[in-house]
Amino acid sequence: MTKTKDEKTLGDANNKPSFNSSKQIFKSQPSGNRSRVYQFLAAFVLGTCAALPFMFQLIGRNVLQGLLFWAVFGISTAMLAGAVYFLINHWALPRLKTYPTGWKVLWAGSVIFFGIWLSFNIPLVVPSLEFLALPSFLSKLLYKGSAGILLGLFLYILSLWLVTTPIIIPAAETTHRNWRVLKYTLPMIVIWLIYLLAYYPGMMSADSMNQWGQILSGNYVDHHPVFHTLSIWLLTRVYFSPIVIAIAQILALALVAGACFSFLETQGVSRFLLGIACMIFAIIPVNGTMVNTLWKDIPYSISVLGLTLLIAKIVFSNGKWVESNLSRTLLGITAALVLLFRHDGLPIGLGVLALLILAYPQRWKSWLIAIVIGAGMYFGVRGPLYQWVGVQKSTVLAESTLALYPMAAYTQPGRKRTRC
C-alpha cells in the first residue's frame, strides 16, 4: 500500500526531533559537561592541597632529591585528586540531593575557611623550603594554606557524614530516664571526689580570697558578681568550708553533663561511644581540677552547658520542647544564671533568646514567657536583693584605666625623662 505525499510528510515530521527538543538536548549536554569540569577542577585543587603538607616534608637539598620530590608529588597529587573526585561524585553529591546549590557551596566554603583559619592559629611547624627558593612569608602561606584546606576537607567529610547519616532513635526512649542520667553522672562524681581529696578542701586564688573576705565582712563589692558571692555565702551556711562549694560544683556539673550524655543517647548515639566520651570528660585533668576551684567561671560554665542542652532539645524537637510551662521556666532561669554569674554573660543569654525568636517566630508566646521569667530573676537580683545587702559598685577598673595613661606617657618613645 503506497502512502500519499501528505502522509509521508507527516511521518517524516513524527520521526524527526522537534526544534525545541533538539534545543533542550543541546543545552543539557554542555551543562552536564561543565558540571563535570568544575568537579574535576575542584578535585584537582583539593588533591594538590592535600598532597602539599606531606610532600613538604620530603623536599631535598640537591637536584636528585628534588627530581624525586616532584615525581612523588605528581603521583600523589594524581591519586588524591582521583580519590577526591570519586568522593565528590559517589559519596558527597548523592547525600546532598535534597539541598539547594547555594547551601552546598556555602557549607563547603565555610568549612574550608574554618580549616584555613585553624591552620593559621595552631602551632604548625613549617618545614624548610629552601629548595623551592621561595620567600619566607610565601613558604608559610603556601604550607599553612594547603594544610588548612586539607583540614577543611576533613571537616567537610566529617560534618557531611554527621548531618546526613540517619538517626535511629531507640523504641524505649523514655524508659528508665532517671537511671540513664545517673549512669553517666555517678562515674563523674566519684572521679571528681578523688580529685577533691587530692586538693582538699578545694582550690582558691586571689579572686576567691577576695570573695571569701566579703562573706566574712558582709561588705559586698560588684567587681566579681555578687550573685556568685552570695551563692558562696548561702552554701557555707551548711558547713563553713570551701569543700561545700567544691561538692556543690561537682554535683551540678555531673548532673548537667550526665543530662547531656543522656540526651545524646535518646538521639541514637552509640552507648559505647558515649561511655568513652563520659570517661574522658571525667578523667581529663582540666575538669577534675577546675570543678574543685572556687571561681565564678565554674558555675558560669555549668550554666552555659545547661543552656546548650536546652537549645539542643529545642532544635531537635523543632521547637516543641518549649511548649510546656516547665520548659519555659527552665529556659528563663538558665539564661538568667548565665547573665548573673559573669558580667560578660549578657551577650550569650540575650543573644540565645534573640536567635530563638528569629528561628521559631511562631512560638513567640513561649519566648516571651521565658524572657519575662529571666528578666524578672535578673533584675530582681541586681535590684532589690543587691540594695538589701548593700552592694557597692567596683572602682577597680576605673582606677586601673586611669593608671594606664601616666604609664603610657612615661614609656612614650622619644620622651625626655626627668628625675624627681
Domain's final residue, options 164, 188, 222 = 164
- pLDDT value for 24: 46
- Quote the domain boundaries for residue 374: 177-392
Specify if 212 maps to a domain: yes
Q: What are phi and psi of 30, to 5 degrees?
A: -60, -35
Q: How far apart are the C-alpha atoms of 188 and 182, rounded to whole Å?
A: 10
The low-confidence residues of the chain, meaning pLDDT below 50, are 8-10, 13, 16-30, 60, 62, 171-175, 420
Q: How far apart are the C-alpha atoms of 341 and 301, rounded to whole Å?
A: 9
State the total domains in the chain: 2
- pLDDT value for 409: 62
Question: Is 354 in the same domain as 207?
Answer: yes
Question: Is 78 in the same domain as 195?
Answer: no
Query: Cβ(191)–Cβ(305) under 8 Å?
Result: no
Question: Is 143 in the same domain as 184?
Answer: no
Question: Is 80 in the same domain as 219?
Answer: no
Specify if 169 maps to a domain: no
- pLDDT value for 136: 67
Query: Cβ(195)–Cβ(289) under 8 Å?
Result: yes
- pLDDT value for 117: 85
Specify if 278 maps to a domain: yes
Q: How far apart are the C-alpha atoms of 56 and 214, rounded to whole Å?
A: 58
- pLDDT value for 400: 56
Question: Is 217 in the same domain as 344?
Answer: yes
Question: Is 352 in the same domain as 230?
Answer: yes
DSSP secondary structure string for all residues of 357-388: HHH-GGGHHHHHHHHHHHHHHHHHIIIIIHHH
Question: Is 95 in the same domain as 116?
Answer: yes
Domain's final residue, options 164, 193, 209 = 164
pLDDT tens digit string along 124-178? 666 655 555 666 667 677 777 777 877 888 888 887 877 776 655 554 444 456 6
- pLDDT value for 21: 45
Question: Is 142 in the same domain as 200?
Answer: no
Question: Is 297 in the same domain as 182?
Answer: yes
Q: How far apart are the C-alpha atoms of 105 and 115, rounded to whole Å?
A: 15
- pLDDT value for 26: 39
pLDDT tens digit string along 354-398? 888 887 888 888 888 888 988 888 888 888 888 888 877 876 655
Specify if 415 maps to a domain: no
Question: Is 158 in the same domain as 224?
Answer: no
Specify if 406 maps to a domain: no
Question: Is 120 in the same domain as 150?
Answer: yes
- pLDDT value for 175: 46
- pLDDT value for 410: 64
- pLDDT value for 246: 92
Specify if 419 maps to a domain: no
Question: Is 104 in the same domain as 144?
Answer: yes
